[in-house]
Amino acid sequence: MPPMNYRFSTRALSAKSSDVRDLLLHAQNPDIISLAGGLPAAEFFDVDGIRNAAASVLKHSSTSALQYGMTEGQPRLKAALKKHLASKGIRASDSTLIVTTGSQQGLDLIARAFINEGETIVVERPTYLAALQAFNLCAPNYVSINIDDQGGCVHELQSLENLPHEQKPKLIYVVTNFANPSGVSMSLERRRWLAQWAVKNEVFVLEDDPYGDLYDGSAPPTPLAAIAQSIPGASDWCGYASSLSKCLAPGLRIGWMVLPEALARIVVRLKQAMDLHTSTLTQEIAATYLESGAMDDRLVLIRNAYKLRRQTLTEALSKTFGSRISISPSTGGMFIWGRFTDGTQTRPLLAKAIEEKVIFVPGDVFYASDPDQSSLRLNFTSASPERLIEGVRRLAMAM
Ligand SMILES: Cc1ncc(COP(=O)(O)O)c(C=O)c1O
């Protein structure tokens, strides 16, 4: 539809709808098997636990839960999050921890804090689509680093060291654990290297980690943010973002960031202008739930179920497509990242797949530039193992 005679801002006109969101419209059709979205399995939501937490909040803390709150976040939730972060080796204080409305808001805030039009930022290729959407509104110049089996190829940053000051990147965005979309985690050695590089070159790194608790077997390496706290000066150049969306419930819209104090102060000001604060009601519910200790047991359940689903989808893909598909190594998260080695282009394949009633996300949307047209992202968490197998059968029909 033409935009009437409204004189929209360049920023508004540049905003594109995410292909994943558009695909989710198909996902609402029960005949369609969706391997496209990034939805956690709804059957593992701890509905009773959240109901009890909500009832307790309304009974005992209704004033703070229904009143305006502090932009930085509710003190009770911050206390619970500090404990959670400490279990990962990250020290946070009231002045460095900010509760956000989902971690997505954190990405938007960091973009606003750093990027002027045309300034350089570094992302991985492939990277999280909605991070690109948030960053795009600030019209940056992107530099991409590749991803291999060890995660982001951070050594490629060396090529940026001798650029004139105004062309040097201001921000590096990495998804360190079971990344969306690649499923890959960054190795410990690379995390250390990146923290050291950041402090030496004075470039801010945002580590986005919503999937780190969704592992099978052993936990991923120590977060970059924790490593940075043991390297002199590095915690001034490394920040951390995470969320309850993947482990508890995305509908709560609870995320957080741990940032150097000077940056946290700026980000709080930006957030004030955006939404005053994240919902006090859901913050209090989340705090009560975390205090109950129920999350640990729930995570065990989710990890086991996701492990089975990931293995089922991986095996079905390997059996069906053999050497025609290469799959990135992963031991957690919510996605399988594949690449057809026979030149199959995944965007035309999607059109055929919709006819066969299965959907996935063509990989090209996850690149800031030079997309790989043969790649695709498959979600394994929101369909049952039987539906995953059937989904791959339909995909083979589409091929
Ligand atoms: C890498 C990554 N970061 C951030 C988010 C945003 O999550 P939320 O805003 O629900 O915390 C997502 C959601 O899919 C994601 O995959």
> Mean pLDDT over residues 235-251, rounded?
98
pLDDT at 357: 96
Q: What is the CA(364)–ligand 1 centre distance, in A?
A: 19
Q: What is the CA(20)–ligand 1 centre distance, in A?
A: 13
Report the pocket of ligand 1 as residue ranges, CB < 6 Å. 38, 102-104, 128, 175, 180, 208, 210, 243, 245, 250, 255
pLDDT in tens, 359-371: 999 999 999 999 9
- 124: part of which helix (H) or strand (E)? strand 120-125
Alpha carbon separation from 194 to 298, 313, 314, 332 (Å, rounded): 33, 33, 31, 22
> Mean pLDDT over residues 232-250, rounded?
97
Q: Does 2 have pLDDT greater than 70?
A: no
**Taking Cα atoms as reference points, which of 303, 291, 106, 137 lies closest to residue 206?**
106
Name 206's Cβ contacts closer than 8 Å, sequence gap at least 6.
107, 110, 171, 172, 173, 174, 239, 240, 241
Looking at ligand 1, which atom is closest to the CA of residue 244?
Answer: 11
Q: What is the CA(93)–ligand 1 centre distance, in A?
A: 23
Name 399's Cβ contacts closer than 8 Å, sequence gap at least 6.
321, 344, 349, 352
Q: Which of 100, 127, 177, 246 to mutate to test the pocket of ligand 1 (most atoms within 8 A of CB)?
A: 246
Distance linking the first and last C-alpha atoms of the chain: 34
Average pLDDT taken over every residue of the chain: 95
pLDDT at 37: 86
Q: Does 34 have pLDDT greater than 80?
A: yes
pLDDT in tens, 56-96: 999 999 998 999 999 999 999 999 999 999 999 999 999 99
pTM: 0.96
Q: What is the CA(190)–ligand 1 centre distance, in A?
A: 23
Determine whether 5 is exposed, middle or buried from the number of CB atoms within 10 Å of its CB (0-12, 13-18, 19+): exposed
Name the band, by pLDDT with cuts 50, 70 and 90, for residue 189. very high
pLDDT in tens, 130-186: 999 999 999 999 999 999 999 999 999 999 998 888 899 999 999 999 999 999 999
Q: Which of 45, 208, 256, 337 to mutate to test the pocket of ligand 1 (most atoms within 8 A of CB)?
A: 208
Q: Does 32 have pLDDT greater than 70?
A: yes
Looking up tokens 């654990």 gives 177
Alpha helices by DSSP H, listed for 61-148, are 62-66, 75-86, 102-114, 129-136
Which tokens go with 386? 């039987």
CA distance 173 to 158: 16
pLDDT in tens, 284-301: 999 999 999 999 999 999
Which tokens go with 193? 């290297």
Which tokens go with 66? 């229904």
Question: Residue-wise over 20-55: b if at least 16 C-beta within 10 A, else e?
Answer: beebbebbeeeebbbbbbbbbbeebbbeebbebbbe
Q: Which of 110, 128, 240, 279 to mutate to test the pocket of ligand 1 (most atoms within 8 A of CB)?
A: 128
Q: What is the CA(153)–ligand 1 centre distance, in A?
A: 22
Q: Does 1 have pLDDT greater than 70?
A: no
**Count of beta carbons in the 10 Å neighbourhood of residue 326:** 14
The closest residue, in CA terms, to atom 14 on ligand 1 is 38
Residue pair 372/126 in contact by the 8 Å Cβ criterion = yes
Looking at ligand 1, which atom is closest to the CA of residue 255?
Answer: 11
Q: Which of 18, 104, 206 to mutate to test the pocket of ligand 1 (most atoms within 8 A of CB)?
A: 104
CA distance 267 to 328: 35
Name the band, by pLDDT with cuts 50, 70 and 90, for residue 5. confident
pLDDT in tens, 90-108: 999 999 999 999 999 999 9
Q: Does 19 have pLDDT greater than 80?
A: no
Estimate the crossing angle of helix 280-292 against helix 75-86, to 10 degrees. 40
Looking at ligand 1, which atom is closest to the CA of residue 334?
Answer: 16
> Mean pLDDT over residues 318-331, rounded?
94
The closest residue, in CA terms, to atom 16 on ligand 1 is 180
Which tokens go with 41? 């399995």
CA angle 61, 67, 73 (to 5 degrees): 85
pLDDT in tens, 221-230: 999 999 999 9
CA distance 265 to 163: 29
CA distance 342 to 263: 47
